[in-house]
Structure 1
Amino acid sequence: MDQENLPPHVIIFPLPLQGPVNSMFKLAELLCLSGFHITFIVTEYIYKRLIQFTNIHSRFDQYEGFQIKTISDGLPEDHPHSGDQFMQLFDALRSKTKPLFKEMLTCGDLRHVTCIIADGIMGFTCDVANDVGIPIVYVRTVSSCCLWVFFCLPKLIESGELPFHDDDFDKLVKSVPGTEDFLRCRDLPSFCRLGDISNIYVQLYKTEGQEIARAFGLILNTFEELEGPMLDQIRSVCPNLYPIGPLHAHLKTRLGAEVGSSSEQTSSNSLWEEDKSCITWLDEQSPRSVIYVSFGSIATVTKEQLLEFWHGLVNSGVMFLWVMRPDSVAGKDWEENVPEEIKEGTKKRGYIVGWAPQEQVLAHQAVGGFWTHNGWNSTLESVYEGVPMICWPYFLDQQVNSRFVEAFWKLGLDMKDTCDRVIVEKLVRELMEVRKEEFLKRADDMAKLAKGCLSEGGSSYESLKRLVKDIESMAVKDELERPLV
């Protein structure tokens, strides 16, 4: 194929964490299905885990023009890459990965790049894009409701609502337009509790609005019917939005259309080895009888928290499937301190795995509830499958998401700032028994909207079509402006 007739070539550069990498691989495949050539950039640490636990290469081999390039994240090889050390990762990306990224774009190894799609929290990618003259579209893989809170941080500081002046965390927040009647101090991102507006997290996120406005547009993993009011608020700062989520389902829908039938779970972007024996266990359970418990790929709990959760689950009498990562509990000797009564209770009605194929689990007819940390991918997957939630957020955007789940979307119960076996038992029963039909009906209604937005003419379907058209227009414009050789 002549160079002039090649399709658009897009660089995709996710934030190197499980959630963003997962969702941006879905975006990459959607753009591959649109005929684009994709260069997907991951850090060496992420790449090693991908090739260890996934079929990433064989899966993308079918797409002409797809390639993965690795880049250093600037951290030592023995660095744990854990969530509580996020700022170390971010600082290393900004100081050490930035020049490597520029070198990658200018060394001549890549064919001409039409545009860059990068995580909006990595502002250095926009600096590089501007330096080399390539258009950039940002992606934010957090919820729009949390992103809007980030945009409002300067207003929260200016109004005096940050830092907090007392310990009344149930006080309503007034400086986040559209949320005045339900968003409380305890629902703001976790770093807002630190009491210091010079904190590195506050300083990082308070410039989100200005940073994102630098890009050509903003891709969001959400849909209008779920987050329309927050999307309208964000458009006041960044008018060119592409809400194309839920990305995991959008991809499965398009793949299903390609083969003429619904697409099954055939691949994974997980950085952990999935234990699929849990699906066999679920097959043996009654419909909507199991609560699925997973706090994601980063959250850690103390031994004391673990035992409170465990007692509450067993005492609820509800069947449960629990993801307990090898590194999810702080300390080394916790297994020796598990009381016999909860071990016996787990044998009767529980199943524990190190990691699960989550999309497949949430789609299973036996699952009637999801106890989640409310990472945005997990929240969207639950919404799409019509599974009500118990929310126990760990950090950052998850505090905001959990409040929206309970107070705005009415899809579950928010248990933030609580770790007590009696409350766990009560909320599990409330979700799975007492108010089961109410929550299932509400979740089913939202799931129908999520599925509708992906069909032809639906809001996310049309946003993706517009994104593809805009990138194609960039390619045409670039071709016209490129000097003749």
Structure 2
Amino acid sequence: MEKRVGRRLVLFPLPVQGHINPMLELAHLLYSKGFSITIIQSDFNSLNPSKYPNFTFHSLFYGFSLADLKVEDFPSLAILFNNRIKNPFKECLAKLVRDASESEEPIACLISDALYYFTQSVANSLQLPRIALRTGGSSSTLAYVAFPSLKEKGYLPTPGSQFDVEEAVAEVPPLRVKDLPLINTKHPDKFYEVICNLVNETMVSSGVIFNTFEELESLALAKLRQQFSIPIFSIGPFHKYFPSGSGSSNSLVTPDETCIPWLDKQEPKSVVYVSFGSLAALAEIEMLEIAWGLANSNHPFLWVVRPGMIGGSEWLEGLPSGFVENLGGRGHIVKWAPQPQVLAHPAVGAFWTHCGWNSTVESICEGVPMICMPRFTDQLVNARYVSHVWKIGLQLEKGSERGEIERTIRKLLEENEGKEIRERSSSLKEKAKLCLKQGGSSYHSLEALVAHILSLESIYV
């Protein structure tokens, strides 16, 4: 822990699990560098301040409920988030700035989720620097930067019938049409608006932070640095700065710890861990195909099935009667798992994932090969990089079909191709470790971020 630097940072996370986690990890990291931390949060998916005694919390009223959060409505919700909360946020931040001006800890800057693009104009109005936290990877961000060009070529707001889904998109290699970071929505124009706002307001901020490292995304980061005139800080993987923490303490859902004793009983590198994140939904037929694909593979599996994840079911009603019992202990299903702890367990040999960025980075850090089944937006980009650029996983190109599931699991855990993938995964794991050590790329980038934040006061104070 470094001595206090006499500067406060105000952090503003988007109230969704995949965005809250990296913001909190960043908060802990910057606190360890001597900054005081204030977090502005919503009444929607709010955190318990008593769990974070080193931080100060302020809450805003959104008036949302969990029922409002439907993936297909994401574009409308994102716009609603930005419009509804703007005035309350401005009032809260203005008061914090006034109070800080009378204290010994002036606010150095605002760090907000890049999807909260409205915060740039609020920060400008208060003459406060804003740094954006991009909770996705730099490769998917590069694809978002290309959206105007992709729209001009006819790929957006949705690809027309003139495009073969397997066709390469020259503007954003190595992506194909099917890999473009889109979402199945009734409002594609709104999604385009959200992404363009995200990119444009990030580009005029005082900097952008990525939870990635140079050895993983060097090419994408180099291209972004050519297009952005602001500093870019690749300081990840965030969660590995504090390896003693499992990361589950930031979870909005209490994880089921029974999966760890179950894993303890399994053979090394034998278990398929299956989790599709906090938002993805499945149809009942998909659940059945996944269940039989896992069972037919004859490999043990740990499967996270969130309540309500399956359309029309509360939890496991869609499974055949006695399905788990008939596996003889080879399958274990939980409602939520302590994922970093699971991925670090020696019994886990593969991670079947939706390829959200947090999950992707966590898997890379533990050297666990991936089975990719992306659902929407940046997950599609991440899956392409996992399977065809870093070559540390296999993608289920035909979706959740039991035969392909079984073949993919066997290929990854039993065949020579899987062995090569495991070797590449192990090599990338070592690079993720080294980048955080003194002299490593993320170590240097973090030092540069701290120096940059401290330099901002001379411009605005």
TM-score by length of 1: 0.88
**Structure 2 Cα separation of the partners of residues 221 and 215 of structure 1:** 17
Distance, in Å, in 1 between the alignment partners of 2:228 and 2:362 is: 26
Pick closer, same or farther for the CA change 1:372–1:392 going to 2, 3 Å.
same
Q: Which residue of 2 aligns with 1:257?
A: none
Counterpart-to-counterpart distance in 2, 1:338 and 1:291? 19
Matched, 1:474 2:456: yes
Secondary structure at the aligned position of 1:45 is classed as coil
Of 150, 170, 174, 1:174 maps to: 170
Q: State which of 329, 333, 351 in structure 2 corresponds to 1:352.
A: 333
Name the SS of the counterpart of 1:42 in structure 2.
strand
CA drift at 1:476: 5.2
Corresponding residue for residue 68 of structure 1: 57
- CA change 1:416–1:273 in 2 (3 A) is farther
Partner of 2:178: 186
Q: Check conservation: 1:144, 1:227, Cα contact below 8 A.
A: yes
Matches within 5 A, 1:179-218: 179=173, 182-191=174-183, 199-218=189-208
Matches of 2:388 and 2:300, distance apart in 1: 26
- Is the CA contact (8 Å cut-off) linking 1:8 and 1:475 kept in structure 2? no
1:144 aligned residue (134, 138, 143): 138
Counterparts in 2 of 1:245-260, with a 5 A limit? 245-252=236-243
Deviations 1:375-410 (Å, cap 9, x if unpaired)? Answer: 000000000000000000111110110011000000
Name the aligned partner's letter for residue 58 of structure 2.
K
Match of 1:102 in 2: 90
Map 1:60-459 onto structure 2 (within 5 A): 60-61=52-53, 63=54, 66-75=55-64, 77=65, 79-107=67-95, 110-111=99-100, 112-162=106-156, 163-166=159-162, 168-176=164-172, 179=173, 182-191=174-183, 199-239=189-229, 240-252=231-243, 263-265=244-246, 268-332=249-313, 335-340=316-321, 342-434=323-415, 435-459=417-441
For the residue of structure 2 that corresponds to 1:190, the secondary structure is coil
Corresponding residue pairs, total: 448
Partner Cα distance (2:92, 2:397) in 1: 43
| SS of aligned partner of 2:400 | coil
Distance (Å, rounded) in 2 between the aligned partners of 1:334 and 1:295? 15
Q: Following the alignment from structure 1 to structure 2, what is the Cα–Cα distance between the partners of residues 207 and 174?
A: 24
Given that residues 314 and 346 in structure 1 are in contact (C-alpha distance below 8 angstroms), is that contact kept between their aligned partners in structure 2? yes
Name the SS for the 1:126 alignment partner. helix
Task: Provide the rounded CA distance (Å) in 1 between the counterparts of 2:370 and 2:281.
Answer: 19
Q: Deviations over 1:297-346 (max 9, x none)?
A: 00110110000000000000011000111121110377445324743443
**1:417 Cα deviation after fit:** 4.7
Moved over 6 A (4+): 193-196
TM-superposed CA distance for 1:83, in Å, is 3.0
Report the secondary structure of 1:369's partner residue.
Answer: strand
User: Which residue of 2 is the match for residue 255 of structure 1?
Assistant: none
What is the root-mean-square deviation of aligned Cα atoms in Å? 2.1
CA shift for structure 1 position 431: 1.0
Shift of 1:71: 1.1
1:463 to 438, 445, 451: 445
CA distance in 2 between partners of 1:426 and 1:340 (Å): 25
Is residue 287–residue 319 contact of structure 2 (8 Å, CA) maintained in 1? no
Per-residue deviation, residues 192-218 of structure 1 (Å, max 9, x unmatched): x7798x621122213443221110111
Partner SS, residue 292 of structure 1:
strand
Secondary structure of 2:324's partner? helix
Decide whether aligned partners of structure 1 residues 70 and 337 sit closer, same or farther in structure 2, where only a CA change above 3 A counts: closer
Q: 3-state SS of the aligned residue for 1:309? A: helix
Asked if 1 retains the 8 angstrom alpha-carbon contact of 2:239 and 2:247, the reply is no
Q: Aligned with 2:10: secondary structure?
A: strand
Whole-Å separation in 2 of the counterparts to 1:460 and 1:333 = 43
Amino acid at match of 1:57: S
Q: Supply the distance in 2 between the matched residues of 1:39 and 1:195 (Cα, whole angstroms).
A: 37
Q: 1:359 to 1:141 in 2, by over 3 A?
A: same
Please tell me the residue identity of whatever aligns with 1:464: L
Kindly tell me: are residues 216 and 417 of structure 1, through their superposed partners in 2, closer, same or farther at Cα, counting changes over 3 Å? farther
- Mapped to 2, the partners of 1:123 and 1:338 lie a distance apart of 42
Contact 1:151–1:209 (Cα < 8 Å) also in 2? yes
SS in 1 for 2:107: coil
Q: Is the 8 A contact 1:73 1:92 kept in 2?
A: no
Letter in 1 for 2:162: D
Percent identity between the two aligned chains:
40
CA distance in 1, matches of 2:122, 2:397: 39
Q: Which runs of 5+ in 1 are unaligned?
A: 253-262
Which shows bigger deviation, 407-416 or 324-333? 324-333
The whole-number CA distance in structure 1 between the counterparts of 2:148 and 2:82 is: 23
Measure, in 1, the Cα distance between the counterparts of 2:67 and 2:314. Answer: 23
Kept in 2, the 8 Å contact 1:303–1:334? The answer is: no
Distance 2:319 2:458 in 1: 63
1:114 partner SS: strand
1:218/1:452 Cα in 2 relative to 1: closer, same or farther (>3 Å)?
A: same
Tell me, in whole angstroms, the C-alpha distance in 2 between the residues paired with 1:207 and 1:6.
33
Q: Distance in 2 between matches of 1:287 and 1:426?
A: 20
User: What is the SS of the residue equivalent to 1:155?
Assistant: helix
- Tell me if the contact between 1:309 and 1:424 (Cα under 8 Å) persists in the aligned partners: yes
Closer, same or farther: CA 121–335 of 1 in aligned 2, 3 Å: closer
Name the CA distance, whole Å, in 2 between partners of 1:158 and 1:327. Answer: 39
Q: 1:128 to 1:266 in 2, by over 3 A?
A: closer
Q: Deviations over 1:246-275 (max 9, x none)?
A: 1111233xxxxxxxxxx3537511011100
Query: Helix, strand or coil for the counterpart of 1:332?
Result: coil
Specify the SS of the correspondent of 2:38.
strand
